[in-house]
Chains A and B, each alone.
Chain A
Amino acid sequence: MSDRTPLVDMRNIHVSYGGVHAVEDVSIDLYPGEVLALVGGNGAGKSTLIKTLSGAVVPDSGEIHINGERVEITNPRDAKQYGIETIYQTLALAENLDTPGNMFLGRELTTRFGNLDDSAMEDAARKVMKRLNPKFENFKIPVARLSGGQRQAIAIARAVHFNARILIMDEPTAALGPAETEQVANLIRSLKSEGIGIILISHDIHDVFDLADRISVMLQGRLVGTVNKDDVTMDEVLAMIIIGKMPGEVTQDELEELRG
């Protein structure tokens, strides 16, 4: 893969909140048609790292390259211009707006007079949701009155609708049941086959092994390392997540302990 230009190349990213180093000197990259899983315990810095790519957080230092070109991403608008779409862990939905209102927030469809074209937005929302959640019907009510799964579907639909080249998914299946989770897994496979690069943050190690090509592990703000899924076992990845040791460094005893 290294002979191709990466879609995303994040180099030596640092972010600190006051005295807390949320992300310290982390570098990851992502290729077209690849799923990169980003894993690590709570507070490892995963969400903060991807927020520097989505424009929600400006890093203290570090470089971001898109298609080999150095870019400055200082707000979410910049990121969207580079084809980066994000499904945030918090979903980032305006509870009082309806489904089309949320899907098109900040990128509303308008008539030629600049007025909001609610009918066109509802129509587009119906088309995207048909693919994600065919039973979904409540397009005109505030999303506050929808279930967790439906809200998650809206957040995913928003990212999918705008033809992302780079898709960031921060725990996209956290609020979903098994059937819906499988739907999202299928969606990820189909987007991947279209050549979209996906960064997937997940707690579920089985999902990770099911979907990812490579796995990057973070611990306490630092990158432990990045491995090819086919070269490692689940236990070895767990060892990276919990004690921060690469597959070569970890001892048999330590692996036993993790299993027990």
Chain B
Amino acid sequence: MSVTQAPPGETQQQETVRGPRPSVGSALRSAELDLRTLGMVGLLIVIWIGFHFMSGGTFLTPRNLWNLSVQFAPVAIMSTGMVLVIVSRNIDLSVGSMLGAVGMAIAVLQAEILPDILGFGHPAIWLIAVGAALVLGGLIGLLQGLIVAYVGVPSFIVTLGGLLVWRGVTWWITAGRTVAPMDSTFQLLGGGSRGSLGEVGSWAVGVLACIGIVAILLYDRRQRIRYGFKLRPTWAMIAIAVVGSAAVLGAVWVMNSYYLPENVAMQVAEQQGIPWPEGGLRIPMGISYPVLIAIGVMLLMSFVANQRRFGRYIYSIGGNPEAAVLSGINTRWTIAKTFMTMGMLVGVAAAVTVARLNAATSGLGTLAELYVIAAAVIGGTSLAGGVGTIPGAVLGALVMQSLQSGMVLMNVDAPLQDIVVGIVLVIAVAVDVYYRKRAAQ
């Protein structure tokens, strides 16, 4: 964002003369890039470099980035749903407690109920647990959504109640007892040393993503030619393809630069009958399953938000609820479905979190609502409704997790971490309010 900033004298002149905007800005506009998202990427880079120097060079290492990516996944997954909830002029304060309740329920299911029925380590256990997480989360979300939409209780109150209720349920399921360990296949969902794609799989995903970027650009171009609309400049298309592919392949490279811990590598070598070499065996981790799930969720939710009627209706309700009704949209059912979607995403996040911790505790998911809402808001979702993007929220989740990981690396005390996160959230909203006011003028 520093590129568009001019010295004070020049700014004044520009305001009075109203000359053409700086060329960088207009170039980005003609490339149809979202300035706000680019600004977020810039902010992220600043945070990363800042922490790298302040932590004595430990932040930008494959090890830290890999761990950061795994920890970021549950918040990222839930933030994609929170965007839609906030866009529809609602809020969901219950997601942390819901994560606790759903997580505890599926932990008990797979650790204490299913082994008795199916036998310990049965291959279907993980699937049933994940299915149960989706269904339970969806039902809780739907229940809250129905109360908001059809009874007319404000979502702030319904989900504030939910925050207490589902936290209580989390405790009540096992009377506060911690449940562990999880099914061994289920554990893979949480990442860890075996829950990753490995080197070849990660490169394959990376290459597929690059092909996807190019394919989307070409499809968009074909549609524009078909209807005779203005085309994106060729330089912009090439730049987007090159920068996008470089970012994807760079991320894969970083993930592949983190290796299995020596003891796990030894086990793998033993299993596969490879003799243990002199200098040790370096087996790349690659993209972890939680990250893969988060990316999949982001793509799916972006598609729903932009390409499906459901998403369009959510945005229209946020923009003008009366207009949505007059257009014949069933706004109540749309709101109920939005909360249900949020609940299902909480179910996904619960599965990933429980798998990573390999346990469920009564405190599972505490304060997650704060991180999820913060991610959405930092990512450009307006609390006034109607405005917000899914990729923005995922970037917001990355910012939040980077702040937290960075502070941990710098040995900042936990209470001080909370203070910083709280302040960042307020600043993010203040900046948002400021820019929207200016844009409205």
Q: Which A residues are closer than 8 A to B by beta carbons? A: 54-56, 75-77, 80, 86, 88, 90, 92-97, 101-102, 105-108, 110, 114-116, 119-120, 122-123
Give the chain A neighbours of B227 by CB distance below 8 A: 119-120, 122-123
Chain A contact surface mostly: loop
Cβ 8 A contact of B308, one of A105, A115, A120 = A115
Check A95–B308 contact: CB distance below 8 A: no
Check B386–A108 contact: CB distance below 8 A: no
Known contacts A119-B224, A119-B226; is-contact A108 B312 (Cβ 8 Å): yes
- Near A by CB (< 8 A), chain B positions 294-327 give 306-309, 312, 315-316, 318-320, 322-327
Check B323–A77 contact: CB distance below 8 A: no
Which residue in chain A gives the minimum CB-CB distance to B326? A92
Q: Name 12 extra pairs, CB < 8 A, besides A55-B328, A116-B312.
A: A54-B326, A56-B326, A76-B327, A90-B322, A94-B315, A94-B319, A95-B386, A107-B327, A116-B307, A119-B224, A119-B229, A122-B227
Give the chain B neighbours of A120 by CB distance below 8 A: 227
Closest chain-A Cβ to B385's Cβ sits at a distance in Å of 8
Give the chain B neighbours of A106 by CB distance below 8 A: 324, 327-329
Sort A-B residue pairs by CB-CB distance and give the 3 closest, nearest first: A94-B319, A106-B327, A96-B319
Chain B contact surface mostly: helix
Known contacts A90-B322, A93-B320; is-contact A105 B224 (Cβ 8 Å): no
Known contacts A76-B328, A114-B308, A119-B227; is-contact A105 B318 (Cβ 8 Å): no
Give the chain B neighbours of A122 by CB distance below 8 A: 227, 229
Known contacts A94-B320, A95-B319, A119-B229; is-contact A101 B327 (Cβ 8 Å): no
Give the CA-CA distance A110 to B386 in the complex, in Å. Answer: 22
Check B315–A115 contact: CB distance below 8 A: no
Give the CA-CA distance A173 to B312 in the complex, in Å. Answer: 29
Give the CA-CA distance A90 to B320 in the complex, in Å. Answer: 11
Closest chain-B Cβ to A80's Cβ sits at a distance in Å of 6
Q: Is B128 an interface residue (CB 8 A)?
A: no
26 intermolecular pairs with C-beta atoms under 8 Å apart: A56-B325, A88-B326, A92-B327, A93-B320, A94-B319, A94-B323, A95-B386, A96-B316, A97-B315, A101-B312, A102-B323, A105-B327, A106-B324, A106-B327, A106-B329, A107-B327, A107-B328, A108-B312, A110-B309, A116-B308, A116-B309, A116-B312, A119-B223, A119-B229, A122-B229, A123-B227
Closest chain-B Cβ to A168's Cβ sits at a distance in Å of 12
Give the chain A neighbours of B324 by CB distance below 8 A: 94, 105-106
Check A92–B323 contact: CB distance below 8 A: yes
Which residue in chain B gives the minimum CB-CB distance to A142? B319
Check B328–A94 contact: CB distance below 8 A: no
Give the CA-CA distance A150 to B149 in the complex, in Å. Answer: 33
Closest chain-A Cβ to B421's Cβ sits at a distance in Å of 29
Give the CA-CA distance A105 to B331 in the complex, in Å. Answer: 12
Check B309–A108 contact: CB distance below 8 A: yes
Closest chain-B Cβ to A22's Cβ sits at a distance in Å of 17
Check A94–B316 contact: CB distance below 8 A: yes
Among A54, A92, A93, A94, find the residue whose CB has the most chain B CB atoms closer than 10 A: A94
Which residue in chain B gives the minimum CB-CB distance to A145? B439
Give the CA-CA distance A92 to B329 in the complex, in Å. Answer: 13
Closest chain-A Cβ to B100's Cβ sits at a distance in Å of 34
Give the CA-CA distance A213 to B323 in the complex, in Å. Answer: 31
- Near A by CB (< 8 A), chain B positions 121-165 give none
Check A80–B320 contact: CB distance below 8 A: no
Give the chain A neighbours of B307 by CB distance below 8 A: 115-116
Q: Is B387 an interface residue (CB 8 A)?
A: yes
Which residue in chain A gives the minimum CB-CB distance to B303? A115
Give the chain A neighbours of B315 by CB distance below 8 A: 94, 96-97
Give the chain A neighbours of B322 by CB distance below 8 A: 90, 92
Give the CA-CA distance A54 to B308 in the complex, in Å. Answer: 26
Give the chain B neighbours of A77 by CB distance below 8 A: 328
Which residue in chain B gives the minimum CB-CB distance to A56? B326
- Near A by CB (< 8 A), chain B positions 221-278 give 223-224, 226-227, 229
Check B318–A96 contact: CB distance below 8 A: yes
Closest chain-A Cβ to B308's Cβ sits at a distance in Å of 7
Give the CA-CA distance A96 to B321 in the complex, in Å. Answer: 11
Check A76–B326 contact: CB distance below 8 A: yes
Give the CA-CA distance A97 to B309 in the complex, in Å. Answer: 13
Give the CA-CA distance A55 to B322 in the complex, in Å. Answer: 13
Give the CA-CA distance A94 to B322 in the complex, in Å. Answer: 9
Check A76–B323 contact: CB distance below 8 A: no
Closest chain-A Cβ to B122's Cβ sits at a distance in Å of 37
Closest chain-B Cβ to A113's Cβ sits at a distance in Å of 9
Give the CA-CA distance A107 to B313 in the complex, in Å. Answer: 11
Known contacts A75-B328, A77-B328, A92-B327; is-contact A105 B316 (Cβ 8 Å): yes
Give the CA-CA distance A55 to B229 in the complex, in Å. Answer: 36
Which residue in chain B gives the minimum CB-CB distance to A76? B328
Give the chain B neighbours of A88 by CB distance below 8 A: 326
Check B328–A80 contact: CB distance below 8 A: yes
Known contacts A92-B323, A106-B329; is-contact A97 B316 (Cβ 8 Å): yes
